[in-house]
A and B are shown apart, each in its own frame.
With several copies, the nearest count.
Chain A
Amino acid sequence: MTSLCCKVGTLNLRNPIIMASGTFAFGAPYAKLYPLDSLGGISTKGLTVEPRTGNRGTRLIETASGLMNSIGLENPGLSHFLQFELDRMCQYDTAIIVNLGGGSLEEYEKGASMLQQAAATRAAEGKRGIDMVELNISCPNVKQGGMQFGLHTEKAREAVRIVRRITDLPLMIKLSPNAYDLTGMAAMCEEEGADAISLVNTFLAMSVDLKSRRSSFQQTYAGLSGPAIKPIALRMVHQVCRSTSLPVVGMGGITTAQDVLEFIMVGASAVQIGTGNFMNPRTGASLAGEVTQLMKKERIESLEEIRGVI
């Protein structure tokens, strides 16, 4: 029997397929297309303490095999999420990972304590809660989006430390591919007691509108995702896996079962699918099955067998 079970730290997943933050909302749009119980997990849209309206102007540009986005962390805010969205998410039998964004240490601190409190309250009520927090220190699309944390290890350390102090929920740090020193970041996460690392967030990129002679995006730069970045993301996940003993959740351009196994082979504990959901909204319904099939074909019995073989 081919098994897809896997763990990210203490978190057990049905399979390694997690839906990436910002591409899956809180699950509801996709729940209309297929049962979300087939997923390993869902990472929510990045949430901040206060609601945010996001960026103005063009938010999406397609590139060769890539997608640039400048959403700018539009989200309904943590209170709204905790009050209205979390219960609905808890109906899906899949791991719930709350992606926490922010622009300042205070905001991260506040957000983390809101999550910690909500989890405690729910536990007391005997309700399912938050399976993991994914700390996003790498959103490139807002001035106060955490990107400045994501570039510098010591700046990031402050954010990780403060959140770690506040919550005992499993904590995963989402790294930016734009970081000056990626393996230094990973080492820092380990030192600061994080439970896992996820990468990559989007690559800082640019698109020009020839007619107006301006950037296509009001924030000048935007984040690049999708198959275009896969080879770079895979290299980064490999580098980070070899430099840390923390479990790593890999992502960047994954769209096929082959992609999933490649990330596992370079050492990822699980993977996330972002832009792939836009190419085929039913990716989550079929990918785990396709991974099983491919494993059978390649005579791979379990993910452990191949994890980190390269």
Chain B
Amino acid sequence: MQAVVVNNEPLMEGIYRLTLEGRHGGKAGQFYMLRCWDSFPLLSRPISIHDLSEDSITFLYRVHGGGTELLSKLLPGNSLTLEGPYGNGFPSPQGRTALVGGGMGIAPLLLAAKEMPEADVYLGYSGEAFAESSFRSIRSSGGLTIISGGTILDSLEPHRYDTIMTCGPVPMMEELARRCAGSGASLYVSVEKRMACGIGACNGCAVETPSGIKKACVDGPVFPVEEVNFHDLALL
């Protein structure tokens, strides 16, 4: 499917917010496969839904390598190809809920925060914060904690929550898992794996779980922490 770029603004060095025209499906934690090139690079790039409206969809991404670099060159009016929404997305919140994002991992949490207005939101940035104003505008009456240049985990008391959902660097999520253990909170983790097809056809995005091999693209990217092997995740 083709869509036209409304906006592709740099929020800070190497971080862009891309908004496309049209009504697109999806829920928080799901992703699209994006490409704005013909045959090079080969694969499309999985990017989470950052925000959705009646007539637009927004992605938040970091320029990492060649593919995201090409995305960053898009101008308003250009068109690109997107396929999706793919993946399971975050589960419905059960009881008191926290959303915990680290770095680029905050991307899928904006839509999650919208879908779960009761959930507390914790955002951690190793450096300067970005896209935090979008979160402020939907949590103007509180429930938002932001830490720049430090760890967000120290601000969070897992036992205060029934459900915690997280997306961020593997070491951060692993530490969060340690802190949640025995706290009574159920933790859901959004994982990243290299993907070729995004639809369950290539077996490329295998995730090792106690109940066997699963696919990050269709069974995930969100998994209950019990299913996640952080050692396996660290090997992208």
Give chain A's interface residues, CB within 8 Å of chain B. Answer: 22-25, 28-30, 32-33, 45, 53-54, 56-62, 64-67, 69, 71, 74, 226-227, 255, 275, 277-281
- Residues of A within 8 Å of B81, CB to CB, are 280
In the bound complex, residues from chain A placing their C-beta under 8 Å from that of B206 are 54, 59, 71, 74
Instruction: Judge whether A227 and B201 touch: CB under 8 Å.
Output: no
Contact check, B202 vs A69: say whether CB atoms are below 8 A apart.
Answer: yes
- Which chain B residue lies CB-closest to A280? B81
State which residues 195-221 of B face A: CB under 8 Å.
195-206, 208, 212-213, 218
In Å, the complex CA distance between A29 and B200 comes to: 6
B residues touching A (Cβ–Cβ < 8 Å)? 39-44, 81, 83, 194-206, 208, 212-213, 218, 232, 235-236
A277 touching B204, Cβ below 8 Å: no
List of B residues within 8 angstroms of A279 by Cβ: 39, 42-44
Chain A residues within 8 Å of B202, by CB? 22-23, 25, 60, 69, 71, 278
Does A227 contact B194, Cβ atoms closer than 8 Å? no
| Residue in A28, A54, A57 whose CB lies within 8 Å of B235 | A57
How many Å from the CB of B84 to the closest CB on chain A? 10
Query: For B235, what are the chain A residues with a Cβ–Cβ distance below 8 Å?
Result: 57-58
Those 5 A-B pairs whose CB atoms lie nearest each other, nearest first: A29-B199, A60-B204, A60-B194, A25-B201, A278-B196
Q: Which of B41, B194, B199 contacts A58 (CB 8 A)?
A: B194
Q: Is the CB of B203 within 8 A of A275?
A: no
Of the residues B43, B44, B213, contact of A67 by C-beta under 8 Å:
B43
| Nearest CB of chain B from residue A80's CB, rounded to whole Å | 12
Closest A residue to B229 using CB positions: A56
Residues of A near B205 (CB, < 8 A) are 59-60
Given the known A-B contacts A32-B199, A281-B197, A281-B199, are A62 and B204 also in contact in the complex, defined by CB atoms under 8 Å? Answer: no
Q: Which B residues are in CB contact (< 8 Å) with A65? A: 39-40, 42
Tell me, rounded to whole Å, the shortest Cβ–Cβ distance linking B24 to chain A.
Answer: 16
14 extra interface residue pairs, beta carbon distance < 8 Å, beyond A29-B201, A67-B43, A71-B204: A25-B202, A30-B201, A32-B199, A57-B232, A61-B194, A62-B43, A64-B40, A69-B202, A71-B206, A226-B42, A227-B39, A227-B42, A278-B42, A278-B43
Chain B residues closer than 8 Å to A45, beta-carbon distance: 203
Residues of A within 8 A of B236 (CB): 58
